[in-house]
Structure 1
Amino acid sequence: MVPPPINGDTPPSGRLAGRVAVVTGASSGIGYAVALELAAAGAAVLATGRDRAALSRLAGAAAHRGLAVRVHPAEITAAAGRERLVETARNQLGDISILVHSAGVYHSGPMSLASLSDLDDQYAVNLRAPYALTQLLLPDLTRTAGDIIFVNSTQGLAASPEVGQYAATKHALRAIADSLRAELGSKGPRVCTILPGRTATAMQKRVFELEGRDWDPEGLMQPEDVAAMVLSVLELPRRAEVTDIVMRPARKVS
């Protein structure tokens, strides 16, 4: 199904023309950049996040560039929020063929002090929500021979001190991606995990503050770098599947 045009415009053209994408965590950072990148390549995008005002800014930025981005504020840790998101995407755009998981939260602290409420929060956002949303959208993604991309973290490869809770959710998210890929085989959507290192986002700024570092975004990867990698994965012919991509700043940051 070709997604309907937005505001009566002509249907989009481009490398992803005719594809429908749902992007989570699109209020800021990597998710925001991914939504714009996919729309610029011709996809019809439904971008979701918690921050209604930030999503409005995303919609404005997309409209200024003539891009097909719809926004839908949602709390995807709640079943009702996920269900409304999926219903909205299907009703407005048709069968979803791309799902990009970019939502995430971060808490840190030594195990002796880290709170269980922080652990619960990270589990809910970083692991349970993407698992449940993927379940809901698997029929669409299978029918369209689509793509599922989990934007993870290099903490999903090796845990640093005092981020055990966060790293645990990222290791588990990678395990879910690996298991799902093996379950689906060649008949289902492709599944890719992208593991970015330090990227100049609001979350990373907070990490720098917690570490007592001066904020130097120019020395880090930019959200647009990760978005470009997401697009590269999606553009590969169906005969190829990328399973894991690790990205790090060229300037080494410990």
Structure 2
Amino acid sequence: MSPDRPVSSDPAASRPVTLITGAAGGIGSALARTLAATHDLILSGRGGEKLDALCAEVGGRPLTLDLTRPETFADALAGLDRVTNVVHNAGVVDLGAVGEQAHAVWTHTLAVNTVAPAELTRLLLPTLRQERGTLVFVNSGAGLRANAGWGSYAASKFALRALADVLREEEAGNGVRVTSVYPGRTATEMQRKVRGQEGAEYTPGAFIDPQTVAATIAFVLNAPRDATLTDVSVRPGPPA
């Protein structure tokens, strides 16, 4: 807890409240399980049995958000009180050459991967400032280098990196920390989809374990207040 935050006699008030988007996915669910013992969790997704089961398992509060409709976020967030940290983890990917992808793919990808995090952040900034909290943007190696066939996804992730960089400068004086995390290929259902689009076999053991990425994000959130981890890349380690 920040020394600048008022001390409360209520034990629950001393625990950070962390909102995770894409919570039912591989990295999101691993992060929820990692943080459950020390954070109060708001787990966002499209709803459904998987999200409900995760909330029941970790004691999280479900938050249904349609990331393609940012105009609905304000109403969805109306019942929230404290939010200390936000982990923007949700994302979509569709591979294809620029000359082959219609504008609908670009619009959808940018809406979910960039516009939704920007609007959700805007709405939650007042409480993040009050809590002196942390914003984590789960980016991608594609946010550092754009390769052929990855145009729409890389563009959304480059824009997400710019959003984080701008927020870091704008909110430093308000005590809000901002970190971009760049995982390499991670063993998730999204990666299974990507491998299918690449016409390649999906072998989970060849990729980073989602729990490893979750542990990295947890380290960022729990880092001492005298430091901000601005950019963290997570790459596969050497063979065991």
Instruction: Please give the TM-score of this superposition, normalised by the length of structure 2.
Output: 0.90
Say which is worse superposed, 74-83 or 113-122, in terms of deviation: 74-83
Q: Deviations over 1:14-40 (max 9, x none)?
A: xx9511111101121111222222223
Alpha-carbon distance in structure 1 between the residues aligned to 2:233 and 2:162? 15
C-alpha deviations, 1:145-201, integer Å up to 9, x for none? 100000010100001210111000000000010011011224331000000010011
Q: What residue identity is the alignment partner of 1:242?
A: L
Give 2:27's aligned residue.
30
How far apart are the structure 2 equivalents of 1:34 and 1:112?
A: 37
Retained in 2: the 8 A contact 1:28–1:54? no
Identity %: 38
Of residues 201, 204, 208 in structure 2, which corresponds to 1:214? 201
TM-superposed deviation, 1:58? 1.0
* Correspondence for 2:3: none
Instruction: Return the TM-score normalized by structure 1.
Output: 0.86
Aligned residues: 233
Supply the distance in 1 between the matched residues of 2:26 and 2:47 (Cα, whole angstroms).
12
Q: Which amino acid aligns with 1:167?
A: A
Distance 2:100 2:233 in 1: 30
For 1:89 and 1:190, how far apart are their aligned partners in 2? 21
- In structure 2, the residue matched to 1:65 is none
- Match for residue 107 of structure 2 among 120, 139, 143: 120
Q: Where in structure 2 are the equivalents of 1:91-240 lying within 5 Å? A: 95-240=82-227
Q: Which residue of 2 aligns with 1:44?
A: 40
- Counterpart in the other structure of 1:8: none
Change in Cα spacing, 1:249 to 1:152, as seen in structure 2 (3 Å) is same
CA pair 222-17 structure 1, distance change in 2 beyond 3 A? farther
Task: State the distance in 2 between where 1:237 and 1:251 align.
Answer: 29
The code of the aligned residue for 2:79 comes to T
Structure 1, unaligned runs of 5 or more: 6-10, 63-67
Matches of 1:120 and 1:233 in 2, distance apart? 31
Counterpart Cα distance in 1 of 2:139 and 2:237:
19
TM-superposed CA distance for 1:2, in Å, is: 9.4
Partner Cα distance (1:143, 1:185) in 2: 13
1:98 and 1:148 in contact (8 A); partners too: yes
The reply to whether residue 70 of structure 1 matches residue 61 of structure 2 is yes
How far does residue 88 in structure 1 lie from its aligned partner after superposition? 2.9
**Matched letter for residue 108 of structure 2:** D
How far apart are residue 60 of structure 1 and its match? 3.3
Of the structure 1 ranges 165-174 and 109-118, higher mean CA displacement relative to structure 2 is found in 109-118
Q: Structure 2: where are the runs of 5+ without partners?
A: 1-5
Give yes or no for contact 2:88–2:136 (8 Å, CA) kept in 1: yes
- 1:130 maps to a residue whose letter is P
Deviates most, 125-134 or 26-35 = 26-35
- Secondary structure at the aligned position of 1:206 is classed as helix
Q: 1:57 aligns with which of 45, 53, 58?
A: 53
